[in-house]
A and B are shown apart, each in its own frame.
Chain A
């Protein structure tokens, strides 16, 4: 809205300028009656210059309004989304992560995580019918005997 108001004001100002400057210029030449064509030519020249000046002013004002749209004073217009540059664009810059970009399947990493199992028994208290056999090993040290044998030597 600010841009439109500023543009209308500058256009109006340029028209007013052309109207103010043209009559004196015309009067200078028309009053002395040197040449009626001078009167007409001078008026047109002044009018064209005023119109060009107005156009330049409009362009300058529009540029200034566009650059100020993010400022801290006045109305803040919502900024239009800027489309990303097409592939192969000559305008390049440092790559920045775009949060709106959705990953492709190849960009998604699969990370498996496993936790220890929870083990329960039935019945929960662990009391069951069972047989138990204890094997006790006993080493036998063995025994040795000594027998005295009398041999008669002839």
Chain B
């Protein structure tokens, strides 16, 4: 298990795959594709294309999947944190006297924040959709002894020494995962600008 620190503008891709070249990462993903590839399976009613054409389509589809992983990792993490009641209360307390109160909240036991996303790639020919390839991106943050600073109803910084992150990328209808990584994720995250914690009733 590798260790990557979550900071400002850390992407899912950099945590899960490192800083490798696109071609290498696509080749790594392609190794876990179903036999025969993606495009050939998704275009059964079409005239058979050469194998090289199917490989090219598969690579372009996987390149799109890589771009899905360029999302900011901090965003789902902070959104999940804002759902814990202790942080909601801290936001309310800090707003009660916004000029003077900072609230430090520490979540003690191990908890999990899960983010699931279902992006897809559409294959279009002659302005007509001929196939759709759906993916699922799953991220599970494991929290343990996470300290959060709240001021004026918003998260200003997060620190966690023993967090972890599990990232999976899968292809809809295919059991084998295209990507599975679990990393230790120390967090030292100054949040600029601060992320507002949603309060009940929108208050």
Residues A136 and B100 in contact, CB atoms below 8 Å apart: yes
* Across-interface contacts of B49 in A (CB, < 8 A): 102, 104-105
Q: How far is the CA of A35 from the CA of B124 in the complex (A)?
A: 86
Measured CA separation A129–B93 after assembly (Å): 18
Asked if B123 is an interface residue, CB under 8 A from chain A, the answer is: yes
A113 and B108 contacting across the interface, CB-CB below 8 Å: no
Q: A103–B64 contact, CB under 8 A?
A: no
CA–CA, A122 to B80, complex, Å?
Answer: 10
Size of the A side of the interface (Cβ < 8 Å), in residues, is 36
Contact B104 A135 (CB under 8 A): yes
Cβ–Cβ < 8 Å partners of B57 in chain A: 105, 108, 110
Pick from A103, A119, A122, A130: contact of B125, CB below 8 A. Answer: A103
B125 touches A108 (CB 8 A): yes
Asked whether A133 and B85 contact (CB < 8 A) given A109-B125, A128-B111, the answer is no
Chain B: number of interface residues, binned into ranges: 35 or more
Contact: A138 with B85, CB < 8 Å?
A: no
Q: Does A123 reach chain B (CB closer than 8 Å)?
A: yes
The proximity string for A residues 108-142 relative to B, scoring 1 for CB distances below 8 Å and 0 otherwise, is 11111111111111110111111111111110000
* Chain A residues positioned under 8 Å from B46 (CB to CB): 102-103
**Among candidates A113, A134, A137, residue contacting B120 with C-beta atoms closer than 8 Å:** A113
Shortest beta-carbon distance from B16 to chain A in Å: 15
Chain A minimum-CB-distance residue to B81:
A121
Chain A residue numbers with a CB within 8 Å of B90 are 132
Contacts of A127 in B (CB 8 A): 85
- Within the complex, the shortest CB–CB distance from A132 to chain B, in Å, comes to 5
Selected from A97, A107, A119, A125, the residue in CB contact (under 8 A) with B113 is A119
Contact B106–A131 (Cβ < 8 Å):
yes
CB of B53 within 8 A of CB of A136, answer no
Q: Is the CB of A112 within 8 A of B108?
A: no
Cβ distance B108 to chain A, nearest Cβ, rounded Å: 5
Chain A contacts for B161, CB-based, 8 A: none
Q: Which residues of B contact A126 (CB under 8 A)?
A: 83-85, 88
> Residues of A contacting B54 with CB < 8 Å?
105
CB of B86 within 8 A of CB of A132, answer yes
**When chains A and B are docked, how far (Å) is the Cα of A137 from the Cα of B71?**
38
Q: Decide: B101 and A135 in contact? CB cutoff 8 A.
A: yes
The answer to whether B194 has its CB under 8 Å from any CB of chain A is no
Q: Which of B100, B107, B115 contacts A130 (CB 8 A)?
A: B107
Return chain B residues, CB-CB under 8 Å to A114.
Answer: 68, 71, 117, 119
The answer to whether B7 has its CB under 8 Å from any CB of chain A is no
19 pairs, CB–CB < 8 Å, chain A vs chain B: A103-B126, A105-B49, A105-B53, A107-B125, A109-B123, A110-B64, A112-B64, A114-B68, A114-B71, A117-B76, A120-B116, A126-B83, A128-B111, A129-B109, A130-B106, A130-B107, A132-B103, A133-B103, A136-B101
Residues of chain A touching chain B, judged by Cβ–Cβ distance below 8 Å, are: 97, 102-105, 107-123, 125-138
